């Protein structure tokens, strides 16, 4: 007990709990056999609930000739239950069939996805659905209630870091919002309030460090000890990890999730920075090939997720279009949850075929990140060659690292093109542009520019 005047305040956590590496040890270390029993029970309950209460699922399952009671095993779930896609949800949203009828009075927030591909989805939700997404990761990486969070994020209609904001409060930490403040103002606030955890996209963490340098402030000397990012490729990409950690002299940790899939997050393992754990307290995940068949553990395929948290608009067996490599063996960090080696490796809807070779923009980004002298600032442009049979073509723009002589850029260009040719097997032109010439972003960076549907180069 802590005495404060005439009031007595109970500590949020016992000393033993503070020393534990787990936010919920029972769930995080549960043997796979027990986890699967729990997943099946939750899946069957959710499928029945969705069929009985949400017109979208009733129509989809009736068209597939499947009834909830036919899903008796996890194999039934994989083999019999149809997947749904973003386009399906958009269609049923327009028809008013994607949510539980009459649930309007329970909607305590309305967000939209950031629209990584295509039109954003609207996300109605109930407040309790929103919490417990980030705290597992933060606790695993040593963040505690004594930490101070700084949110370098323009709070708006995108979900993004709203869930992180509420989870920081749930953790019991002090929270400082940088919403409505420009980049210089945020640097001043970081100096003034001395937060220990910076919350932002990877792109903006790097941008803030650039602004600090322009102001004559050494970002490496600030109070920030952990950079917690999401929203785009982050510290799973070695080049981005190096850039963030060098810019802030802090540990960078990454979280993957989709706004429409409440609670369906994967986060960086505290022991292995090259893998993520699926948060199996709130989601069930499988990995399938292009025909929808389950791929063996240890192989790559498309991540398909079901979230348990959303009660108003749950998404069941939802195609993420993200390519992952999954593993089920327990991790030596102590967790039994599925691990994704390398995080998200690519997106199926951004694959380009060049002269018969499948090329993923994320692979190009990762390869160029290996070249010393090139920065993490990159644009990948996709176009179609109308004069030579209509083949897809890709070209890349990338900034040199700070301090690199302009005379060396031609050497870096040749090195980059040679590496892409050796590793991917096709010729991809690379332009090393002037420093600071590519756009800077305050939320997500735009990495891929697809000009094919616009008929322009």
Instruction: Quote the CA–CA distance of 336 and 329 in Å, as a whole number.
Output: 7
Query: Cα–chain-centroid distance for residue 382?
Result: 23
Question: Quick one: DSSP state of residue 180?
Answer: T
CB 154 within 8 A of CB 443: yes
In sequence order, the 6+-apart residues with CB closer than 8 A to the CB of 281 are 24, 27, 28, 132, 136, 263
- What is the per-residue pLDDT across 14-53, written as a single tens digit (0 to 9) for each? 777 788 999 999 999 999 999 999 999 999 999 999 999 9
Question: b/e per residue, 180-190, with b = 16+ CB within 10 A?
Answer: eeebeebbebb
Give the pLDDT score at 447. 82
CATH 3.40.50.12780 assigned to 131-257 = yes
Q: How far is CA 67 from the centre of its chain?
A: 33
Segments in 54-161 forming alpha helices (H): 55-64, 74-80, 86-94, 135-140
96 is written with which tokens? 């008013």
pLDDT of amino acid 50? 96
- Residue spans of the domains in the chain: they are 21-94+268-345, 131-257, 351-450
Q: What pLDDT does residue 427 have?
A: 87
pLDDT computed for residue 244 by the predictor: 95
- Per DSSP, helices labelled H in 351-394 are 361-368
Structure tokens at 376: 């993490």
* pLDDT of the residue at 113: 60
Tell how strand 374-385 and strand 357-359 pair up.
unpaired
**Structure confidence at residue 276 (pLDDT):** 96
Cα–Cα distance list, 168 to 147, 175, 178, 442 (Å): 9, 7, 14, 21
Q: What is the pLDDT of residue 457?
A: 37
Whether residue 134 contacts residue 265, with contact meaning beta carbons closer than 8 Å, is answered with yes
**Do 279 and 264 touch, CB atoms closer than 8 A?**
yes
Residue whose entry in the numeric block shows the structure tokens 């010393």:
372
pLDDT of residue 263: 61
What sign has the CA pseudo-torsion 434, 436, 442, 443? positive
Predicted local distance difference test score (pLDDT) of residue 3: 35
Closest CA to 438 of 454, 429, 427, 449: 449
pLDDT, position 386: 59
Burial class (CB in 10 A: 0-12, 13-18, 19+), 110: exposed
Measure the CA–CA gap between 269 and 251, rounded to whole angstroms.
13
Contacts of residue 356, defined as CB under 8 A and 6 or more positions apart, other chains included, come to none
Classified as helix, coil or strand, 191 is: helix
Q: What is the pLDDT of residues 66-101, one digit of tens each?
A: 999 999 999 999 999 999 998 898 899 889 898 888
Which residues, in sequence order, are CB contacts of 424 under 8 Å at separation 6+? 357, 359, 363, 364, 367
Per-residue model confidence (pLDDT) at position 288: 97
Tell me the CATH number for domain 351-450: 3.30.300.30
Same fold flag, 21-94+268-345 and 131-257: yes
pLDDT at 61: 98
How far apart CA 345 and CA 368 sit, in angstroms, is 15
Helix (H, G, I), strand (E, B) or coil at 335: coil
DSSP string computed for 250-300:
SEEEEEEE-TTSTT-EEEE-SS-TTEEEE-TTTEEEEEE-TTSPBPPTTSE
By the 8 A CB rule, do 263 and 308 touch?
yes
Q: What is the pLDDT of residues 397-442, one digit of tens each?
A: 999 988 898 889 999 999 999 999 888 888 899 999 998 899 887 7
Q: How many Å apart are CA 167 and CA 135, to the nearest integer?
A: 6
**CATH architecture designation of domain 21-94+268-345:** 3-Layer(aba) Sandwich (3.40)
Residue ranges of the chain with per-residue pLDDT less than 70: 1-12, 105-131, 157-160, 262-264, 355-356, 385-390, 453-457
pLDDT of residue 356: 65
The pLDDT score that the predictor gives to residue 35 is 97
């Amino acid at each position: 007990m802590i005495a404060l005047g005439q009031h007595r305040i109970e500590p949020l956590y016992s000393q033993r709990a503070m020393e534990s590496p787990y936010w919920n040890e029972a769930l995080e270390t549960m043997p796979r056999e027990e986890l699967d029993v729990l997943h099946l029970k939750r899946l069957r309950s959710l499928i029945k609930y969705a069929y009985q209460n949400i017109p979208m699922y009733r129509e989809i399952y009736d068209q597939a000739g499947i009834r909830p009671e036919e899903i008796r095993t996890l194999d039934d779930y994989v083999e019999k239950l149809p997947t749904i896609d973003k386009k399906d949800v958009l269609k049923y949203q327009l028809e008013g069939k994607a949510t539980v009828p009459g649930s309007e009075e329970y909607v305590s927030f309305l967000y939209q996805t950031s629209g990584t591909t295509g039109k954003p989805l609207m996300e109605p939700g109930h407040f309790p659905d929103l919490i417990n997404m980030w705290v597992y990761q933060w606790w695993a990486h040593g963040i505690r209630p004594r930490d101070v969070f700084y949110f370098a994020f323009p709070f708006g209609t995108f979900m993004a870091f709203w869930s992180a904001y509420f989870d920081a409060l749930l953790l019991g930490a002090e929270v400082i919002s940088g919403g409505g403040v420009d980049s210089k103002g945020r640097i001043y606030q970081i100096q003034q309030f001395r937060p220990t955890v910076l919350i932002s996209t990877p792109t903006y963490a790097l941008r803030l460090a650039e602004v600090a340098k322009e102001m004559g402030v050494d970002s490496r000397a600030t109070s920030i000890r952990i950079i917690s990012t999401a929203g785009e490729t982050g510290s799973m990409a070695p080049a981005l990890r190096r850039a963030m950690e060098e810019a802030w002299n802090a540990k960078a940790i990454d979280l993957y999730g989709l706004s429409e899939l409440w609670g369906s997050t994967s986060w960086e393992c505290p022991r292995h920075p090259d893998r993520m754990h699926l948060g199996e307290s709130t989601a069930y995940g499988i990995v399938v090939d292009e025909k929808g068949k389950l791929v063996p553990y240890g192989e790559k395929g498309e991540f398909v997720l079901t979230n348990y948290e959303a009660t108003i608009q749950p998404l069941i067996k939802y195609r993420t279009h993200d390519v992952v490599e999954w593993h089920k063996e327990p991790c030596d960090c102590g967790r039994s949850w599925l691990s994704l080696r390398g995080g998200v490796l690519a997106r199926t809807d951004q694959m380009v075929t060049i002269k018969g070779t499948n090329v993923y923009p994320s692979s190009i980004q990762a390869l160029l990140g290996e070249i010393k002298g090139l920065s993490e600032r990159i644009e990948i442009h996709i176009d179609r060659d109308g004069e030579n049979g209509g083949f897809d073509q890709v070209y890349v723009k990338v900034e040199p690292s700070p301090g690199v002589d302009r005379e060396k850029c031609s050497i870096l260009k040749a090195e980059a093109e040679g590496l892409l040719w050796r590793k991917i097997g096709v010729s991809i032109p690379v332009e090393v542009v002037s420093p600071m010439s590519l756009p800077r972003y305050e939320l997500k960076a735009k990495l891929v520019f697809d000009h094919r549907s616009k008929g322009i180069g």
